[in-house]
Amino acid sequence: MKSINLKWQQLILGLGCLLLIIACKSFYPTTNSDAKLLKVATDPTFVPFEIQTASGNFEGFDIDLMNVLAKVAGFVVQFESLPFDGMISTLQAKRVDAAISGITITPERLKTIAFSRPYFKAGLAIAVREDNQNIKDFKSLQGKKIAVQIGSTGADFAKTIPNAKISTFNSGPEFFQDLLNGNVDAVVSDAFATLYAIKNGKLKGIKVVANLLTQEYYGIATPKNSPHLDAINKGIETLLSNGTYKQIYQKWFNAEPPQLPDSWALGIGH
């Protein structure tokens, strides 16, 4: 009799524990364990899109966008710092799930990786030292010494300038230093990043000249046939239509965001 009682007690205790576990589980929804881990590469040398703070945190327009996108699309994002020039081969090798790094959607890149719908309207511009009065447009770049970032659309563009002497650098801070030192006459790079750095006092003695040289759109890049691309695209749609995109744009650029094409099929202006 005694042993039967003990068994009942154990059973009731066991059931009690089980109920407690179930109750706890439903009280604390397990969103994180349900969410898919998304490894996202970024090169945090591109203000104000991706920056790494002294304490090692990532910040910027792209970082904010990716973080809210993860929330609406059910991802947990893990950012990985990667040099811009290695981004495309890393995606091709599927060592990361995605990359957000102010990456311009180009027909060339679309041959090896996939892109989300455009999420940012951008373009290249010429930057020179403040006292330069000669370089004003594409034509005046001919035969000049030009610095560009290796693997960037700026580097591709510079190749089309007749007789230009091109030096390549790994990131923005380096090529602007070369311009300030007088080693090169001009930099061809993404206008927004340069204008932002000038406006915020991070780039002294440099100005942006002429109109934009190109019209470009940034996209979130993934390996080809990525199982995540659909969710990423739907997430961007949601952020565009619910006002979150606009908030992030205003936070970083203090301006109204421009219209974006729905798809890169229409949006490549290169």
Whether residue 48 is preceded by a cis peptide bond, meaning omega within 30 degrees of 0, is yes
Among positions 64, 96, 99, 101, the unique one binding ligand GLN when judged by CB under 6 A: 101
By CB under 6 A, residue 99 contacts ligand GLN: no
By CB under 6 A, residue 43 contacts ligand GLN: yes
Cβ-in-10-Å burial (0-12, 13-18, 19+) of 237 comes to: middle
C-alpha of 120 from chain center: 10
Segment near ligand GLN (CB under 6 A); pick from 14-22, 100-108, 136-144, 173-181: 100-108
Length of the chain: 270
CB nearer ligand GLN, residue 187 or residue 248: 187
Which segments of the chain are extended strands (E)? Answer: 36-42, 45-46, 50-52, 58-59, 75-81, 98-99, 113-115, 120-122, 124-129, 145-149, 165-169, 186-190, 206-209, 216-218, 221-223
Residue type at position 69: L
By CB under 6 A, residue 104 contacts ligand GLN: yes
* Interface of this chain with ligand GLN, residues 133 to 192, rule: CB under 6 A: 149, 152-153, 190
- How many chain residues touch ligand GLN (CB under 6 A)? 11
CB nearer ligand GLN, residue 102 or residue 118: 102
Q: How big is the CA angle at 229 (ends 256 and 269), to the nearest 5 degrees? A: 50
By CB under 6 A, residue 102 contacts ligand GLN: yes
CB of residue 152 vs ligand GLN: minimum separation in angstroms? 3
Segment near ligand GLN (CB under 6 A); pick from 30-38, 99-107, 135-143, 232-240: 99-107
CB nearer ligand GLN, residue 140 or residue 153: 153
CB of residue 241 vs ligand GLN: minimum separation in angstroms? 25
CB nearer ligand GLN, residue 102 or residue 223: 102
* Interface of this chain with ligand GLN, residues 48 to 87, rule: CB under 6 A: 84
By CB under 6 A, residue 46 contacts ligand GLN: yes
* CA 236/CA 72 separation, integer angstroms: 9
Contact call for residues 145 and 161 (beta carbons, < 8 A): no
* CA 70/CA 52 separation, integer angstroms: 19
Write out the residues near ligand GLN by the rule CB under 6 A: 43, 46, 84, 101-104, 149, 152-153, 190
